[in-house]
Amino acid sequence: SAVVPMASRVGSRYVMHMTDPTSLPSFPPPPSEHPLRGRVLDALIDEGFGPNIDDDGDVAFTVQDQQLFVRCMEGDFTVMRVFGQWQIGDDVPQDALTRLMACNELTLRLNVVKAGIANETLVVTGEHVVGPDTDIKGLLVVTTQLVLSAVHLWHETIMGRTQDETNETEQS
C-alpha cells in the first residue's frame, strides 16, 4: 500500500469542506438557560426593537436613537435593570458637585429611577424585582420611558441650575 502524506489526507477530507465558524448565525441561548433574559428578548422583539446580547450578557436595544441595556440578574431574587449611559458634553457644567446634586435631586424626585456619574458618564437605571407572572413587556415600556425622561430631566435640572446661578451672580 502506498503511503499518503498526512497533510493531503487531512486537507482533502476536512479542511476544504469545513464551514467558517465565524459565518454561523449567532443564536441566543435557550430560554431555560436564562429565563428572564429570554422573556426580555421576546418582549423587545414583540415591541419591534431589534435586541442583541452584548459581550457582557446584557440585552442591548435602541429606542429614540438612544442605546439602552437590560441586565437580568437571577438568583435568590430575579432583578431586571434597564439602564443607559451618556457621555457628558462640554456644554454641561464641569463642576462635579453640581452634576452630583442634579443626580441626587433626580433620584429623590422619581420613583424607580436612579442616576449617577461615573468617568464623565451619566448613568440612569431603573430596577425591578420580577417574578414568573410579572408583565415584562409592560415594565420594559414604562421603565424605558422613565430612563429616557430622567436623562432629559437631569439635563434640564443641571442647565437650569447653571442659568439660575448665572442670574444670581449677575444680580449681585
The proportion of the chain whose per-residue pLDDT surpasses 70, expressed as a percent, equals 73
Render pLDDT for 95-153 as a digit per residue (tens, 0 to 9). Answer: 999 999 999 999 999 989 999 999 999 999 999 999 999 999 999 999 999 999 999 99
Q: What is the pTM of this model?
A: 0.74
Pick the closest to residue 88 from 114, 123, 63, 126 (CA basis).
123
